[in-house]
């Protein structure tokens, strides 16, 4: 909730708002006070027709202290109102430290709500009164009750709410304790197991290195023997005789001449011999023969700076195709899994349970019916751990289908499906609401974002960041831009304006406000602030883009919806297209894909 939404219903009869917050916290850009209500600073309380602003939080320099709030409560006069903003998060809110002072000074809390800001997390409106005021219902409207009925309602709601909150707090504490114990156990197990695996890997490396050196020595000896035999006269005479025997008519007539040439070659001075191969050349040739890259099929290798999630996985074909839209995917096969891990250096090795229980090269892995595949999978995971990469089990089916997988050591286990690509949905059949819900919680990109968060890789959801370009010229324009941006169900990541003055509320809500060129992948031009923009605008535009893969999404005079068009009014554009000098009328001619979306709720 915004601060102005919490405050507005309680400004009836208020002509002056007194800002008693500390100097480091300026709430004026958050209030958007209506005409007729003035704002002034001061440390005094409030009386009839006045409302005082105070703050309290963990950072005393920014939020103020408890003593400052108590001093304001002491100076409250009948008819005065107040608003306390808290820097504490909901579970950590120390309301009990202010409760006695509120009661002692006849201050009744009328409404409390969470705030959606970075440094302000909750707010409470109170009033100085000599009689019990009716509380608000869940929609912020006063409950028509008086005296004893109001007291009963407050008492009953307090007891019931406390019952629910206590059980929730106990559950949260139990979960936090379980997480801490699990992480501690996993950390100790991982440290112990890692030392053993590293020692085993070193021993295996030493053994293989010794075997490789022995093989190279034997190859050099054999090469020298072959060269000696091929240069011997006996072998050459034997070859001539065999050739003559195979073709008596032609070979018999040529045999004396060949033997005479061999005799002359022995007595004559031979030409300079070809220099023998050095040991380094022989070693390089042996390594080239033994290098698995000669037998490795092409994979999605990349040498560019890593800004996408890179995966090596035991995946089904459908999952690999869906993941490839947002990540670099290298499917591993049983014969080259270790080599794929070594060559591609992935962010994570992902093993999908469905790929082990269905059809494909890894079928029956972990079921006990294919011990060779179990061994190859364990070797691939060992290679990943030696390289310091995470091993993730994507359990999109019952664990009992492949119980052998649960016995392996995993850095993370994801118990959910792999999501639905938005390209697989039909808006006409599934509906706009299904598309929105899938986009926000059930798409493949969201699932990959969860994986990236666990392994510390680039977030695929960064491709959904939007920059709003606007130019508010006055106080009303600033208030309208702030309201439109904060009301969006999919909030933009940044707002670019000529002058960021007065947009502190957007910054407090976690939105970057700056000047210059856009940095987000997508740009929405909101220069015209008089236009009505619904709260689903950016959400619907991004749904349409992800469904179509278009370079620009917008509206048409004919009201086309979810179809490719040759020309449109751009509402959401790729940054590269926005910064280009090409007019929108020529985008389609240059090969850019334009997709029409109404951007509003259907009538």
pLDDT tens-digit map of 204-227: 777 777 778 888 888 887 887 777
Tokens representing 469 are 């370009």
pLDDT at res. 193? 60
Please list the alpha-helical segments (H only) found in 499-585.
504-508, 537-548, 575-579
User: What local confidence, expressed as pLDDT, does residue 45 receive?
Assistant: 76
CA diameter of the chain = 134
Distance from C-alpha of 425 to C-alpha of 230, rounded to nearest angstrom: 69
For 89, how many CA atoms within 13 A lie in the half-sphere containing its CB?
2
- Please provide the average confidence, as pLDDT, over all residues in the chain: 84
Identify the pLDDT of residue 289.
45
SS3 342: helix
Q: Is the pLDDT of residue 599 over 50?
A: yes
Residues with Cβ within 8 Å of residue 83, at least 6 apart in sequence: 6, 7, 10, 51, 52, 53, 54, 123, 124, 125, 126
* Contact of 363 with 482, CB cutoff 8 Å: no
Weakest-pLDDT range from 46-55, 213-222, 568-577: 213-222
Q: What is the pLDDT of residue 191?
A: 59
How many helices (H) and strands (E) the chain has is answered by 21, 19
Q: Which of 146-150, 220-224, 508-512 has the lowest mean pLDDT?
A: 146-150
Predicted pLDDT of residue 467: 97
At residue 141, φ and ψ (nearest 5 deg) are -100, 140
pLDDT interval class at 124 (50, 70, 90): very high
In the predicted model, is pLDDT for residue 107 greater than 50? yes
514 phi and psi angles, rounded to 5 deg: -160, 175
Q: Walk me through the domains of the chain, giving residue ranges and CATH numbers.
A: 3-144 (3.40.50), 309-455 (3.40.50), 460-596 (3.90.550.10)
pLDDT at residue number 303: 57
The strand order across the sheet containing 309-314 reads 327-331, 309-314, 348-352, 390-394, 412-414
* Residue spans of alpha helices (H) in 14-110: 28-31, 60-63, 66-74, 96-104
Comparing 114 with 273, which gets the higher pLDDT?
Answer: 114
Q: From 362, 340, 344, select the one nearest 292 (Cα to Cα).
A: 340
pLDDT of residue 248: 63
Bigger pLDDT: 251 vs 533: 533
On the question of pLDDT at 295 being above 60, the answer is no
3-state secondary structure of 82: strand
Residue 190 pLDDT > 90: no
Q: Is the dihedral of CA 256, 257, 261, 264 positive or negative?
A: positive
Query: Can you tell me the mean pLDDT for 137-155?
Result: 70
Neighbour-count burial of 220, counting CB atoms closer than 10 A to its CB (0-12 exposed, 13-18 middle, 19+ buried): middle
pLDDT band of residue 249 (cuts 50, 70, 90) is low
Condensed to tens digits (0 to 9), the pLDDT of residues 396-454 reads 999 999 999 989 999 999 999 999 999 999 888 888 899 999 999 999 999 999 999 99
Whether residue 271 is predicted with pLDDT greater than 50 in this model: the reply is no
Question: 91 vs 96, 124, 166, 558, CA distance in Å?
Answer: 12, 15, 11, 51
Which stretch, 189-198, 200-209, 241-250, 558-567, has highest mean pLDDT? 558-567
* Residue listed under structure tokens 């059809």: 359
Q: What does the pLDDT look like over 545-567, one tens digit per residue?
A: 999 999 999 999 998 999 999 99
d(CA 75, CA 305): 61
State the Cα–Cα distance between residues 413 and 394, nearest whole angstrom.
6
Find the angle CA(469)-CA(481)-CA(489) to the nearest 5 degrees. Answer: 90
Calculate the CA dihedral of residues 566, 570, 575, 576 and round it to 10 degrees. 30
Q: Identify the band that residue 244 occupies on the pLDDT scale cut at 50, 70 and 90.
A: low
Among residues 22, 6, 8, which one has the least CA distance to residue 56? 22
Report the Cα–Cα distance between both ends of the chain, in Å, rounded.
Answer: 28
Question: The tokens 């985008």 sit on which residue?
Answer: 587
Contact 30, 10 (CB under 8 A): no
d(C-alpha 333, C-alpha 352), whole Å: 13
Helix axis angle, 279-290 to 147-230, nearest 10°: 130
Question: Percentage of the chain with pLDDT > 70?
Answer: 82
pTM of the model: 0.75
pLDDT in tens, 379-403: 999 999 988 899 999 999 999 999 9
Unique residue bearing structure tokens 């079921």? 367
Distance of CA 396 to the CA centre of its chain: 20
Q: What is the mean pLDDT of residues 258-285?
A: 53
pLDDT at 231 over 50: yes
Banded pLDDT at 137 (limits 50, 70, 90): low
Quick one: pLDDT at residue 26? 87
Torsion of CA 23, 25, 30, 34, to 10 degrees: -20
The first and second tokens of residue 285, run together, are: 């040739």
- How many CB atoms lie under 10 A from the CB of residue 458? 16
CA-closest candidate to residue 17, choices 37, 34, 32:
37
């Amino acid at each position: 909730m915004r601060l102005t939404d919490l405050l507005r219903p309680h400004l009836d009869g208020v002509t002056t708002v007194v800002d008693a917050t500390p100097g480091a916290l300026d709430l004026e850009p958050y209030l958007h006070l209506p005409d007729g209500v003035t704002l002034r600073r001061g440390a005094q309380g409030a009386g009839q027709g006045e409302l005082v602003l105070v703050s309290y939080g963990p950072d005393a320099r920014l939020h103020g202290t408890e003593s400052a709030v108590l001093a304001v409560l002491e100076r409250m006069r009948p008819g005065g109102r107040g608003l306390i903003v808290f820097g504490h998060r909901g579970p950590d809110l120390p309301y009990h430290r202010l409760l006695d002072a509120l009661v002692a000074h006849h201050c009744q809390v009328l409404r409390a709500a969470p705030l959606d800001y970075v440094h302000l997390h909750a707010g409470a409106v109170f009033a100085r009164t000599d009689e019990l005021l009716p509380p608000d219902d869940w929609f912020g409207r006063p409950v028509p009750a008086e005296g004893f009925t109001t007291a009963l309602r407050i008492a009953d709601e307090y007891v019931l709410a406390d019952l629910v909150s206590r059980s929730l707090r106990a559950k949260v504490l139990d979960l936090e304790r379980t997480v801490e114990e699990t992480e501690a156990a996993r950390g100790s197990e991982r440290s112990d197991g890692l030392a053993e695996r590293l020692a085993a890997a070193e021993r295996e490396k030493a053994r293989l290195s010794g075997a490789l050196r022995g093989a190279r020595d034997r190859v050099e000896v054999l090469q020298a023997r072959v060269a000696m035999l091929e240069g011997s006269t006996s072998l050459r005479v034997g070859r001539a005789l065999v050739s003559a025997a195979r073709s008596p008519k032609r070979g018999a007539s040529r045999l004396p001449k060949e033997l005479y040439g061999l005799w002359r070659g022995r007595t004559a001075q031979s030409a300079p011999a070809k220099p023998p191969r050095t040991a380094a050349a022989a070693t390089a040739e042996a390594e080239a023969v033994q290098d698995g890259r000669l037998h490795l099929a092409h994979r999605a290798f990349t040498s560019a700076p890593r800004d996408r999630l890179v995966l090596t996985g035991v995946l089904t074909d459908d999952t690999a195709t869906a993941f490839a839209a947002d990540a670099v995917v290298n499917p591993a096969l049983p014969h080259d899994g270790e080599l794929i891990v070594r060559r591609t250096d992935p962010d994570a090795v992902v093993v999908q349970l469905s790929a082990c229980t269905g059809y494909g090269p890894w079928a029956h892995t972990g079921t006990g019916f294919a011990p060779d595949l179990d061994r190859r999978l364990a070797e691939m995971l060992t290679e990943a751990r030696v390289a310091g990469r995470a091993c993730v089990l994507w359990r999109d089916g019952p664990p009992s289908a492949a119980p052998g997988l649960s016995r392996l050591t995993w850095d993370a286990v994801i118990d959910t499906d792999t999501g639905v690509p938005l390209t697989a949905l039909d808006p006409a059949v599934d509906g706009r609401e299904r598309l929105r819900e899938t986009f926000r919680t059930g798409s493949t990109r969201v699932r990959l974002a969860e994986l990236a968060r666990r392994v510390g890789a680039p977030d695929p959801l960064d491709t959904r960041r939007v920059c709003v370009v606007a130019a508010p010229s006055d106080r009303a324009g600033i208030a309208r831009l702030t309201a439109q941006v904060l009301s969006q169900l999919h909030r933009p990541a940044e707002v670019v304006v000529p002058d960021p003055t007065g947009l502190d509320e957007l910054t407090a809500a976690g939105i970057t406000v700056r000047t210059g060129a856009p940095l987000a992948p997508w740009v929405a031009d909101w220069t015209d602030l008089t236009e009505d923009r619904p709260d689903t605008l950016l959400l619907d535009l991004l749904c349409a883009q992800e469904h179509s893969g278009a370079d620009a999404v917008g509206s048409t005079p004919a009201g086309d919806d979810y179809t490719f068009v040759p020309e449109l009014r751009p509402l959401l554009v790729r940054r590269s297209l926005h910064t280009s000098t090409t007019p929108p009328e020529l985008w389609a001619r240059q090969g850019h894909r334009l997709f029409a979306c109404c951007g509003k709720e259907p009538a």
